[in-house]
Chain A
Amino acid sequence: MQKFRKIRVFALFAMVLMLAWVTAGCGGSASAPPAGSENGSTTSPQEQGTPKSGGKLTVGVSADLTKLDLHGSTVLSDRIPLLHVQEMLVTIDEKMNIIPMLAQKWETSEDGKSVTFALRKGVPFHNGKEMKAEDVKYSIERFMQVAARKGEFSMVDSIEAKDDYTVVFHLKQPSGVFLASLANPYNPAVIMPKGIAEEQSGTITKPIGTGPFQFEKWEQGKQLVLKRFYQYASPEGDTSGFGGAKKPYVDEVIFKPISEATVRLTALETGEIDLATDILPKDVKRLETSSNIVLAKETSMNWGYLFFGFKKPPFDNLKMRQAVAYALNKQEIVDVATWSLGKVASSPVYTETEWYTEAHAKDYQQDLEKAKQLLKEAGYNGEKIVISTAKAYDHHQKAALTIQNQLKKIGMNVEVEILEWASFISERSNSGDYQLAVSHITPRPDPNQIYYAYTHSSSNFNGYKNPKMDELLDKGVTTVDQGERKEIYSQVQDLLREDLSFTATYYYPVIEAHQSYLKGYQSWSAGYPRLWNVWIDK
């Protein structure tokens, strides 16, 4: 009987718990007033008022971090929070131009084979030590060993810490892309204190940097907490991109992973979070009418693509590729995939960057008769054609279905194959085993980083090969003069448009939303939320 009594006691405890739960629910209603209800008027982003310090800022992001070591990471959800903690030697501004960050200035020697960086003085790490040349040498050397992007540093011969505030990079040959490699935010070469990895037994579990916020804790799947770094030494100049004057105002920033877009939005509406990233275009209309929530949207440099597979028929035939190019109506793709919030892309080079020229503006115009004619000439007889795309992003599927519809109009027999993200990457995208592939690519600062990987015959996946293209791309890497390089990449785009290895289709919008009491927030077309210069006013 003794054990039965125990079960009864347990049951009783369970009942009490249940009762507590019910009352907890009722208590919640009193303690959680609707957020941002102090006024119903909307203020324009210009009238932000004087910044206030303090408070806690909670950001709802679509995915959790995978690791705390930026050198070893190519994942956006790792970069978004950790680029508040760690900084690079040089970085990118709002329009992806390269600007100083931890380096104050740099000089390239006459033979172009050494680049000397003068570091800013008095920049403290979060552990109290000052950032010096040895730290830069250590960080970049570590990056060149462990990073996915280490190939981009193959031109570096050695790194020399000349004195405490001077670092010299000795290059094997002159390079036009070296600075862009240092500034590329995709797998960023951030500067950490010397010996940090060894102190933390090989893997970085507590990232230390020079950023405006310092790492506090990461509870996987739940939250990442950053604290304001009071000793932060900001670079000078106008705030732009990752650089310029940066000032942390809030005491604590919390990144909460909420994978469901609908739930993320609800959490914003109930006031559980202050800022939500990755809002779906379909929710924009509803949010525009809300008085407590401010929408922050911007066309992004994320570009959607349609790739042709050269490894199997029928798109190894140029006429077939041209037929597709003439069949496309990119505006319609923008309307469907981005709810008209994006922009038509004629080139992967973004319109507002300094690399954009007339060559990037030219594009095929829809001409169904010509497309049908080309199909006939190519000898197409209604064979089945498959567009491969992935499930992870809603806009990929929508773009693929729109393209399917457009190709059907010229008499192509098209099916859409929707795969899991990981399968799409490994079995289609990276193996080149597809006829048509639809997906998107994140922004890169230099056109070399855009074109080389996807069009050079030594690195592309789809099997495209044109010696003239390879020659141009190689020239783009070794040419130092940026004006000449601009011309080279115009030629690359012209050739790409002729050869049709792929075509850029649309720029996806960055859509974020925040509480009206969050001031100073600006979206960025590169897609990174930035929480410096942002304050809470309530």
Chain B
Amino acid sequence: MLSGDLGHSLVSDKEVLTLLWERLPATMALIMYALLISVVIAIPLGIISAVRHNTRWDYGAMLIALIGVSVPNFWAGLLLIMTFSLHLGWFPSTGYVDVTQNLWKHLEHLALPAFALGFLQAGIVTRMTRSSMLEVLKQDYICTIRAKGGTEKVVILKHALKNSMIPIITIIGINFGLLLGGTVVVETIFSIPGIGQLLVQSVFNRDYPVIQGVILCVAVIYVLISLVVDLLYAYFDPKIDYNEG
């Protein structure tokens, strides 16, 4: 295994490593867009609900977050296909185009699945951003900055947000695992040739070497992401310095 030989598929006789390499780009692209979507939705929503605490804005944002957390991604996926593919015809309902072939089509095909996947994450991250921001906004140093004449923009974006990022980053890192799990369902619904779909097919075919390969691959990705999260801590909190023992 350490030499990179994960064996051959029992069904297609292809090398497991080749199968993973073929499938990984689609899954990684999907997860990246899903993360991006979740962050783009969640952080502004979280900030708004924290700053306008206990107002209509807050309730609205929390309602969206609640829907995000509650809707299972396969259901969201089917609803999105019905609305945006079948009725509006804006996006294709299935398939995948590689980024090197056609960037435009690539994004078009991944838009709906990424949204289906990202929306759930957005709910979780919004709630975390909100509570973390509320905590920080009560701190003395925020009061000090306001007293020194810092504008609201400086207070919120430069000081409060940055200081509340640690738990947010942590939850995004943990969510990455959830996203990897979510791809299994979403890739099957949208027929995206990623490792989630590969896993489902291999389970149905009892193709054990491939199942092992996919699980190992997912575990490795998860460890790498945890590492990246740890490294990001140092950026958001300069007190954490990995250079000094």
Candidates B12, B89, B104; contact of A270 at CB < 8 Å: B89
Candidates A17, A259, A262, A270; contact of B92 at CB < 8 Å: A270
Interface centre among B89, B104, B190, B206 (most CB of A within 10 A): B89
CB distance from B14 to the nearest CB of A (A): 8
Contact A64 B201 (CB under 8 A): yes
CB distance from B221 to the nearest CB of A (A): 19
Candidates B13, B23, B84, B111; contact of A67 at CB < 8 Å: B13
CB distance from B96 to the nearest CB of A (A): 6
Which chain B residues lie closer than 8 Å to A27 at the CB level? 104, 108
Which chain B residues lie closer than 8 Å to A41 at the CB level? none
Chain A, interface size category, equals: 35 or more
The stretch from A124-132, A180-188, A219-227, A236-244 touching chain B is A219-227
**Cα distance, A26 to B103, chains bound together (Å):** 15
A258 touching B40 in the complex, CB below 8 Å, given contacts A21-B107, A203-B13, A263-B93: no
CB closest chain-A residue, reference B8: A203
Q: Does B11 contact A (CB under 8 A)?
A: yes
**Cα distance, A27 to B205, chains bound together (Å):** 39
Proximity bits, B97-121, A CB within 8 Å = 1, else 0: 0000001100110110010000000
Q: Does A483 contact B (CB under 8 A)?
A: no
Contact B92 A24 (CB under 8 A): no
Contact B90 A28 (CB under 8 A): yes
Which chain B residues lie closer than 8 Å to A467 at the CB level? none
Q: Does A343 contact B (CB under 8 A)?
A: no
Candidates B36, B78, B88, B107; contact of A29 at CB < 8 Å: B88
Contact B191 A29 (CB under 8 A): no
Contact A25 B12 (CB under 8 A): no
Contact A260 B188 (CB under 8 A): yes
Candidates B37, B103, B111, B201; contact of A25 at CB < 8 Å: B111
Candidates A17, A258, A422; contact of B204 at CB < 8 Å: A422
**Cα distance, A501 to B180, chains bound together (Å):** 47
Task: Give chain A interface residues in 18-36, CB to chain B under 8 Å.
Answer: 18, 20-21, 24-29, 32-34
Proximity bits, A105-126, B CB within 8 Å = 1, else 0: 0000000000000000000000
Contact A24 B12 (CB under 8 A): no
Contact A221 B201 (CB under 8 A): yes
CB distance from B215 to the nearest CB of A (A): 18
**Cα distance, A269 to B205, chains bound together (Å):** 30
Proximity bits, B185-204, A CB within 8 Å = 1, else 0: 00011110110011001001
Contact A263 B190 (CB under 8 A): yes
- Shortest beta-carbon contacts, A-B, top 10: A221-B193, A222-B193, A24-B107, A21-B107, A66-B11, A258-B191, A29-B90, A24-B108, A266-B93, A67-B12
Please list the residues of chain B having a beta carbon within 8 angstroms of any beta carbon in chain A. 11-14, 19, 22-23, 33, 36-37, 40, 78, 81-82, 84-86, 88-96, 103-104, 107-108, 110-111, 114, 188-191, 193-194, 197-198, 201, 204-206, 235
- Can you name 16 A-B residue pairings with CB atoms under 8 Å? A7-B235, A17-B33, A18-B36, A21-B107, A21-B111, A24-B104, A27-B104, A28-B92, A32-B92, A66-B11, A219-B22, A222-B193, A256-B95, A258-B191, A269-B86, A392-B204
